[in-house]
Amino acid sequence: MISTLANREINTDTFKLYQYDHYIGVNYYLDLTKIFNEKITHENIKEFTTKWLEYRLSLANAPSVEVDFDSSNCNTFSDGISYAERGKAKKDENLPQINYLYIVKKKTGISIHFDMFYGSIVDIEQCKNYISKVKAINDKTQIFFCLDRGYYTKDILKIFSERYKFAVMGKENFKSNDFIKRYPISVITKSENRIIGSIYGIEFEDKPYTDFENNLYIYLYYDSSKNLISAQVEQDKLEKVAQMIKGKKDKNGRITNSWGDKIKITVNKKTKLITDVTIDYNKLDERISKTAISI
């Protein structure tokens, strides 16, 4: 069926307008609402996504496939959505939410799988269930998972390290801070550790958590150009603030509360005037060294 919008009154139903100008393989206009209510069920969706995952993996023609894995959620005003439940929303609008996860092929961006799950289920718990499902569907193709820092947990690292190849962005904890202290910028930026351009990195084996069973490969990266600019901007800002607040009255302590952790501020007890301002360069260097390195 191919038709045109010529000499037709514009309709507010977007799908009907779409059918006017696009071939959809049938000889009649489809009622989108009827399709969703009667044809597209949760069972049909799950069956399709499972088959799609199996199909996309079968097309890999390679011993391994690199994929990006992530999950998110959204709030909904709609009634009657079975997956909508109260949960831990990224933006709490006091509404029920729907959780979903997705896998895309890293090189092409083609979707390999998409799944929705109940809003009350924690993303990480659903991740545990899902990676077991992937293994059951296809155990021939080795999947290399790339994950963001939200999956940097002891349980997830344990599951992935036992079954898959993976790379996950680290996040700050006791162990990661220990790594940064052990391998400061002066060590990472040695010429032998240069990767490309201004990016340096080192690789070593260690436990991501103190009580983790096995060692994993840990990588620390440092972008000298990016962090040099950030350091300069931070220092310029502090020097400007220090110049502006000297001689100001800090009666309610608002200036000290705002900048006291970055600038040493001396206030006259009687007049409440700021008499001396000194930037704490040691703390500035410490902050820069901590934020400059990615794990």
Domain boundaries, the chain: 1-40, 42-169, 226-294
pLDDT at 26 over 80: no
Q: Is the pLDDT of residue 168 over 80?
A: yes
Considering the entire predicted model, what is its pTM?
0.59
Give helix then strand counts, H and E, for the chain.
Answer: 10, 11
Mean pLDDT of 142-157: 86
Q: Are strands 142-147 and 165-168 parallel, antiparallel or unpaired?
A: parallel
Q: Which pLDDT score is estimated for 257?
A: 87
Reported confidence tier of residue 279, pLDDT bands at 50, 70, 90? confident
CB contact at 8 A, 280 and 263:
yes
Percent of the chain with pLDDT over 90: 8
Mean pLDDT value across the chain: 78
Residues 50-69: tens digit of each pLDDT: 888 878 877 766 677 888 88
Query: Which of 200, 191, 199, 157 minimizes the C-alpha distance to 175?
Result: 157
Domain 42-169 -> CATH class: alpha beta
pLDDT at position 192, please?
93
